[in-house]
Amino acid sequence: PGTAGGSGAAGTAGAGGSAGATGAVGAVGPAGARKRRSSRRGAAPQPVTVVFSHGYCLSQDSWHFQRAALRGVVRTVHWDQRSHGRSERGRAQADGVPLTIDQLGRDLKAVIDAAAPEGPLVLVGHSMGGMTMMALGDQFPDLVRDRVVGAAFVGTSCGKLGEVSFGLPVAGVNAVRRVLPGVLKALGSQTELVERGRRATADLFAGLVKRYSFGSKDVDPAVARFAERLIEGTPIDVVAEFYPAFTDHDKADALAAVFGEVPALVLAGENDLVTPSAHSQIIADLLRAAELVIVPDAGHLVMLEHPGTVTGRLAELLARTGALPADANVGPYGSPAQPGS
């Protein structure tokens, strides 16, 4: 996999800013942080690094508002998952190797090794990014136990995604489940044709994005357009190669065993049709130190639709874990008119 700060299979990572930049470190205290076996007696507390992992068909830019709010307050690492955003196509997938969520967990480990090799961590993941965190914990449990002082699971699931109805009636969703994998595979082999079709049906595509991304009808038009750009930036062959991995995703046991005692935020949109809030309830039930937050009038892209709520809850988690002083001044979360800037 590629290393943080450049393009590679594991994605590009930026510490505290653009890819390869040095992270901005604010005043960080150890209060509330769990003891780590790797801590050195008498050494000054190391600053906490917050690592953000994005979801399927998105990029690190989906954390635009949270990144803006935390800039200069705490050190952050943002990265693009393989084949997404500014990362290279996964080399193994280019050779025909099926993509797995476990592979994404190993990619996250590579990013941490490169961008935050020492010190306490807070892991934040949305949708596929939350699943990536679970896969990291399943394969590298000592890393989580020794270094992770907090975790935020946003709009994600620990399994049984094959049962999600996507807001369709039973007959409709059963038909979709039967044909969608084959359809995506066929479309993935006709990339140029499909991309032309996307452009020709832009209004239909925009309507689908809005329905499955947001829970309120009055979402800011600039935010809706930003979401469209993120999703349409993912090539159809990447969409096709990632999709089967979600059916196999099952990390409930690993989640409970590895993250069970970690202070956690579990947050979901009340109207999420992609990873329904019931999946977040299951995650919260498995984590003994979790706070469950269900955001009204919110869909799958809750961190874009209700940035103030998500940023505020995340800041509370960071304060609870010792990553931020309780009185830290988390800045404005960015202009909704210019997301992604």
Token digits of residue 290: 């979790």
Which residues on neighbouring strands pair with residue 264, listed in sequence order? 151, 290
CA distance 139 to 41: 28
* pLDDT tens by residue, 49-98: 999 999 999 999 999 999 999 998 999 999 999 999 999 887 877 777 88
Token digits of residue 313: 């809850």
Q: In terms of residues, how long is the chain?
A: 341
Q: What's the confidence (pLDDT) of residue 223?
A: 95
Q: What's the confidence (pLDDT) of residue 328?
A: 78
Assess if residue 270 is contained within a domain: yes
Which element (helix H / strand E) includes 15? strand 13-15
Assess if residue 29 is contained within a domain: no
DSSP helix/strand/coil, 284: helix
Q: What's the confidence (pLDDT) of residue 165?
A: 54
- The range of the structural domain enclosing residue 319 comes to 1-17+46-331
DSSP 153: E
* pLDDT tens by residue, 116-147: 999 999 999 999 999 999 999 999 999 999 99
Q: What's the confidence (pLDDT) of residue 32?
A: 34
Q: Is the dihedral of CA 332, 57, 81, 19 positive or negative?
A: negative
By the 8 A CB rule, do 334 and 69 touch? Answer: yes
Assess if residue 337 is contained within a domain: no
Q: Name the residue type at position 172.
A: G
Pairing of the two strands 75-79 and 49-53: parallel
Which element (helix H / strand E) includes 268? strand 264-269
DSSP 62: G
Q: What's the confidence (pLDDT) of residue 234?
A: 86
Q: Name the residue type at position 95.
A: D
Q: Domain total for the chain?
A: 1
DSSP helix/strand/coil, 20: coil
Assess if residue 340 is contained within a domain: no
Assess if residue 111 is contained within a domain: yes
Assess if residue 163 is contained within a domain: yes
Q: Name the residue type at position 176.
A: V
Residues contacting residue 107 through CB under 8 Å, at least 6 positions apart: 1, 9, 10, 11, 81, 82, 132
Q: Which residues of the chain have pLDDT under 50?
A: 1-12, 17-41, 167-180, 183-190, 193-194, 197, 200-202, 204-205, 334-337, 340-341
Q: What's the confidence (pLDDT) of residue 44?
A: 60
Which residues on neighbouring strands pair with residue 77, listed in sequence order? 15, 51
Assess if residue 55 is contained within a domain: yes
By the 8 A CB rule, do 84 and 110 touch? Answer: no
Q: What's the confidence (pLDDT) of residue 250?
A: 96
Q: What's the confidence (pLDDT) of residue 200?
A: 42
CATH of the domain at 197: 3.40.50.1820
Q: What's the confidence (pLDDT) of residue 97?
A: 83
Residues contacting residue 217 through CB under 8 Å, at least 6 positions apart: none
Assess if residue 104 is contained within a domain: yes
Residues contacting residue 287 through CB under 8 Å, at least 6 positions apart: 255, 256, 259, 260, 262, 264, 266
DSSP helix/strand/coil, 11: coil
Q: What's the confidence (pLDDT) of residue 338?
A: 52
Indicate the burial class of 42 (C-beta count within 10 angstroms; 0-12, 13-18, 19 or more). exposed
